[in-house]
Amino acid sequence: MEITPTGLVDACGGADNVRRALRHQDKVIIELIELERVNQDVLPISTIDHSLRQITLDQPVSQGALTALGRVIDHNLREQAAPFYSPSQKTDFHRPGWHISPPQGLLNDPNGFIYFQGHYHLFYQWYPFACEHKDKFWVHLISPDGVQWHTAPLGLTPSDWYDSHGVFSGHAMVMNDALWLYYTGNTRIGPERLRQTTQCVARSSDGIHFEKLGPVIDAPPAGVTEHIRDPKVIHDGQHYRMLLGAQREDKIGRLAQYSSADGLTWHYDGLSGDSLGEHGYMWECPDLFQLSDQWLCILCPQGSPSPTPDHQVPHHNGYAKATLEADGITLDNWQVLDHGFDFYAPQTAQTPDNKRMLIAWMGLPDEVEQPSLSAGWLHQLTCPRELRWENGQIYQRPAAALQSLRGPQQLLVINPECHSTTVDLGTKQFELNTTLPIPTSGHYTLYFHSRSGMMTPASSGKPSGCALTIDGDSRTLTLDRSASLAKEGDTRRCIHLPEPLEDLPLQVLADTSSLEFFIAGGQWTMTSRYFSAIDATFFALTRDRHDTPLPKEMNWYALKNASVR
């Protein structure tokens, strides 16, 4: 006889004893807190894994009973995560003042970024219980302007048999006045941690409470490994299209494409991306949108060839022009989106006035040894950026709403006679605007988050801080973060400055442990976390020769805290 939902939970030893549900080859697996509490007279068990505390049931379980089990686990997980979800966490001196960072635990990709019923909704990947990449939740934030956010009830928890090792990344869609979340369900089976991937849907009519509808794609297509994830769904005027980051069986990254008439039943249309050649072993986090009538596809290839010897980490970001065809898309003209260190898995949303706003993860997949670990949190998101399509490329500028954080405008005067200038800004939260002259020869360096601009022996006579050097001989702009307190990741990034550019407008957004550089009106951006001492509130500037031209003046604003941080 089929077991009832309550009968199943009771036989497992009660709601508080159920930890995780899984399904593998039609067998239901349940992970328990205490194996001894299971009632084997009611629940026939075929195998018990004592180290994982998992039982494999010897009888089929109805969809209703599995769903009910998911709701019980969801309740448990929300209770367990609640102490780590309070927005009023202790601050520490690396905690951003106005960027989004996790209250506790690890943050990674932004998810489900969308404007719905008068507000921006933004979710992010979160593991509450430690600064580790484990079973991910979706945190949910809501904002009127993309800057001041408030924390909504937790969006999604890894509660169900199809997502119990992580509600992985995905996007949101508005369909029939409801908010739909498409995401990847990640599960791992057995001690071998065999990966099982599904693409799932959750729906909400009020934008607060989500009902999981389960998998709409329950296995990878032929020729693709279980590394297929991060659904992006659009409506192209005729039907829905889903793009997924994917890995071919020969370990080549590609995009998988599906189409659907109703957003629920999906047809596999094949892989795209051959036109970009061999471009890494896996593509993650695609986004697809239009800017000034040009379709663009952002994605994050892993393991693609390094553009320079400075770039040692395997994680890349970029975009290609996309042409939408009846049964797929063609990509061409690959370009890097952000030239800094910490920029991954960006997502965009359409604003009510038809602009495109982007937010990315300010971090990278393998980098976890950061100084904020001791305070129990890790990583942050970038500021919201407005995108434009200009001169055949994406330009990124800070969203206009960020100006609401500005204090009074202040002038930073550079003495043209001096070899070096040092100014205590008294804060690590600021916006700085200037124009950098590109010298015909020689170089000068701007130091941010510097410690009294002091020349330390360790830095061989240079001021401390994150260094931005503009060099006229090589016509390069170099960002060097080797003085960061974080000892992981690349430390140098370089942009070539094409002729006939003579001046370089620069806007810098600084927050306690990060710097975002918007160069030449957003033609290039360089994004970097930068961990420094509590008193590293100085700005410094040095030049190699007394006749190297310097920026004449800089204006800057201290930036206030935002509501979620």
Which of the residues are catalytic?
109
Under DSSP, is residue 237 helix (H, G, I), strand (E, B) or coil? coil
Site size with ligand FRU, rule: CB under 6 A: 15
Could you tell me the two tokens for 520? 């030449």
Pick 162 or 557: Cβ nearer ligand FRU? 162
Strands (E), 176-252: 178-189, 194-204, 211-217, 224-235, 240-248
Nearer to ligand FRU, 109 or 386 (CB): 109
Listing from the earlier edge strand, what are the strands of the sheet with 45-49? 18-24, 27-32, 54-57, 45-49
- Does 196 sit near ligand FRU (CB under 6 A)? no
Q: Give every CB contact of residue 500 below 8 A, 6+ residues apart in sequence.
A: none
Contacts of 77 (CB under 8 A, 6+ apart): 137, 157, 158, 159
Q: How many other C-beta atoms lie within 10 A of the C-beta of residue 516?
A: 25
Query: Could you give the CA distance from residue 509 to residue 336 in angstroms, rounded to a whole number?
Result: 20
Is 338 a binding residue for ligand FRU by CB under 6 A? The answer is no
Task: Determine the interface stretch with ligand FRU among 32-40, 147-155, 161-169, 427-435 (rule: CB under 6 A).
Answer: 161-169
Nearest residue to 281 (alpha-carbon basis) of 313, 256, 247: 247
Find the shortest distance in angstroms from Cβ 247 to ligand FRU: 11
- Contact segment (CB under 6 A) with ligand FRU among 30-38, 90-98, 165-173, 247-255 equals 165-173
Contact 500, 430 (CB under 8 A): no
Six token digits for residue 522: 């957003």
Minimum separation from the CB atom of position 31 to ligand FRU (A)? 20
Considering only residues 273-292, where is the footprint of ligand FRU by CB under 6 A? 284-285
Candidates 229, 356, 385, 529; binder of ligand FRU (CB under 6 A) is 229
Minimum Å gap between C-beta 168 and ligand FRU is 3
Question: What part of residues 379-418 is at the interface with ligand FRU (CB under 6 A)?
Answer: none
Closer to ligand FRU by Cβ: residue 230 or 480: 230
Retrieve residue 429's tokens. Answer: 């939260």
In the numeric block, which tokens belong to residue 1? 């006889």
**Nearest CA-CA partner of 128 in 376, 388, 437, 496:** 376
Out of 8, 234, 276, 345, which residue is the one contacting ligand FRU (CB under 6 A)?
345
Stretch that binds ligand FRU, among 163-171, 368-376, 415-423, 425-433 (CB under 6 A): 163-171
State which of residues 17, 76, 125, 396 lies at the interface with ligand FRU (CB under 6 A): 125
Per CB under 6 A, 187 contacts ligand FRU: no
For the bound state, the minimum distance from the C-beta of residue 82 to ligand FRU, rounded and expressed in Å, comes to: 21
Q: Report the nearest approach of ligand FRU to the CB of residue 325 (Å).
A: 25
User: In terms of CB distance, is 108 or 157 closer to ligand FRU?
Assistant: 108
- Give the side-chain half-sphere CA count within 13 A for 110: 31
| Token pair recorded at residue 500 | 């006939």
Is 165 a binding residue for ligand FRU by CB under 6 A? The answer is: no
The site map against ligand FRU for 347-366 (x = CB under 6 A) is ------------------x-
In angstroms, rounded to a whole number, what is the distance separating the alpha carbons of residues 96 and 99? 6
Least distance to ligand FRU, CB of residue 300, Å: 7
By CB under 6 A, name the one of 120, 138, 168, 258 that touches ligand FRU. Answer: 168
DSSP codes of every residue in 283-344: EEEEEEEEETTEEEEEEEEESPPPSSTT--SSB--EEEEEEEETTEEEEEEEEES--SSS-E
Residue of 31, 135, 163, 230 interacting with ligand FRU (CB under 6 A): 230
Binding track over 92-111 against ligand FRU, x by CB under 6 A: ----------------xx--
For every residue of 356-400, which 3-state class applies, written as one string?
A: EEEEEEECCCCCCCCHHHHHCEECEECCCEEEEEECCEEEEEECH
| Contacting residues toward ligand FRU, per CB under 6 A | 108-109, 125, 136, 166, 168-169, 184, 229-230, 284-285, 344-345, 365
